[in-house]
Copies of this chain bind each other. A is one copy, B any other.
Amino acid sequence: MFIEERLKKQLDFSLEIDKEKNIFRQTHLSGHGRNENDAEHAWHMAIMAYLLREHANEEVDITRVILMCLIHDIVEIDAGDTYAYDTEQQKSQKEREEKAKQRIFSLLPEDQRSELMALFDEFENAQTPESKFAHAMDNLQPLLLNNSNEGGDWKEHGVTAEQVYRRQGMTKAGSEVLYELTDRILQENIRKGNLKE
């Protein structure tokens, strides 16, 4: 079957990323559901980013934020999900993800490969208003689910409030409003005994 080269590359990449639906995270769906996968997490973050954009610290190009949310975990197809509180796994995370980035985005036509890699790097570096806000979503989305499940994911892994707070600097950089919200949610979970001090 003949398919023009550029379109074929776009389709090859589109089919490849289907595998992201098989990368499961530590977060559980609301209603004490099953583990969430990366594709679901990315979809959820993208919609939240759009709806909550008014709370970003700086004005953001929302299309770029949404795209970062959608693609930021594609590397985990090869590199796997690294749990936020697994310090051992985190040591090799950067290297594993860099290799994955090269392989997967290289399926695309050259211009789109460069564009998506740059977007991924921008997210990773977390220096721009867009990437900071995308990171705020990356924190808030699982927090929302975990809070709805009485902190089940923290309990399961024995995570401490200090560990959770350490990650929320990213949220603060993206949105003071959502950081304040996060703080209130965490304090309530500490009070309820869902998150140990």
Contact = CB atoms under 8 A, between A and B. Distances in A.
Contacts of A14: 44, 47-48, 51-52, 141, 144
The copy count of this chain in the complex is 2
Interface in A1-54: 1-3, 7, 10-11, 13-15, 17-19, 21-22, 29-31, 33, 36-37, 39-40, 42-44, 46-48, 50-52
Contacts of A21: 29, 33, 36, 40, 44
B18 A43 contact: no
Interface in A38-88: 39-40, 42-44, 46-48, 50-52, 55, 62-63, 66-67, 70-71
A110 to B, nearest CB: 13
B177 A7 contact: yes
B66 A10 contact: no
Interface in A128-183: 141, 144-145, 148, 177, 181
Nearest to A37: B40
Given A17-B47, A21-B44, A40-B43, 12 more contacts: A2-B184, A14-B47, A14-B141, A15-B30, A17-B44, A19-B30, A19-B31, A21-B33, A42-B43, A43-B70, A50-B67, A62-B63
Contacts of A47: 14, 17, 70-71
Sort A-B residue pairs by CB-CB distance and give the 9 closest, nearest first.
A43-B43, A18-B30, A63-B63, A39-B40, A39-B43, A21-B40, A1-B188, A14-B48, A10-B51
